[in-house]
Amino acid sequence: MSWLTEYVRPKIRGLLQREVPENLWTSCESCSQMILIKDLEKAQRVCPHCGHHGKALANERLQWTFDDGKYTKIELPKVPSDPLGFRDQKKYADRLKDAKTKTHLDESLAVAHGKIGGHDAVVAVMAYEFMAGTMGTALGEAFIAACRLAVLQKAALVIYTASGGARMQEGVLSLMQMPRTTIGVEMLKDAGLPYIVVLTNPTTGGVSASFAMLGDVQIAEPEALIAFTGPRVIQDTVREKLPEGFQRSEYLRDHGMVDMVVARPELQTMLGRLIGMMMNKPAAASEAA
């Protein structure tokens, strides 16, 4: 028996066992079903079981949006990194440094230009992975830079919003970006250029109270939370039970705040069609096909 247990059994067990990478599978945040990470990435982080739209990185959205995933990122304007010398449990400058190292981004907004459906377009993507996509002076400058680039290229501007609101570490300077970004939107309107907003989960606070709700066309991803203040705070304030789906994409569409709810895999095609119609240009050959 010792020969069988000490020699044969370990040999058989070694032949049958295979090393499985730990990062091969993940579970859906909504339905908890197991999904191959490779399949989830192919599906643009949309659960194949329940259709839940998971959070996406800024660079992923740029790749999904532009034709053939080809685009050119622009360098963002430089701003003072810590204008107020703010510190809570950690220095604000250190928080920024950690966020830049972790995300490989300079700020919570990435800007690029390229083609969508064969049409020239500038795309700005809010990076929720960078300090929860909060809005500070750097984001305001980056948004203005995106607007100026769109005017220069006579191209449409598309922005994906995802934010926890204003960045408290910059105080009133953060709040000043609300009217500043609104001026950027007016630049596009004066030039007669389309401004399309894609609201993703979550879009809240000062972002939803400014440039996120000023689009010529307002698109939202399914089940995205779009609000100024969260539903729990509102419910505690008014002391009434809120309607089902309150502040979600579908509720806002049904009440006229959002024009359409579009699933992520269909967004690129829809954006190409909208830009073509709004710029009064025929669709590209590939789009027409």
Long-range contacts from 284-289, C-beta under 8 angstroms, 24+ separation:
284/115, 284/117, 284/118, 284/119, 285/118, 286/67, 286/118, 287/117, 287/118
**Residue 65: CA count within 13 A, CB half-sphere:** 28
Q: What whole-number distance in Å separates Cα of residue 167 and Cα of residue 252?
A: 25
Is 147 flagged in the annotation as binding? Answer: no
Give the Cα-Cα-Cα angle 181, 187, 188 (nearest 5 degrees).
100
- Beta carbons within 8 Å of 223's beta carbon, 6+ residues apart: 52, 53, 201, 248, 249, 250
Burial of 215 (0-12, 13-18, 19+ CB in 10 A): buried
Is 47 flagged in the annotation as binding? Answer: yes
Is 31 flagged in the annotation as binding? Answer: yes
Q: Report CA 118 to chain centroid distance, whole Å.
A: 22
Binding positions are: 28, 31, 47, 50
Q: Specify binding-site residues for Zn(2+).
A: 28, 31, 47, 50
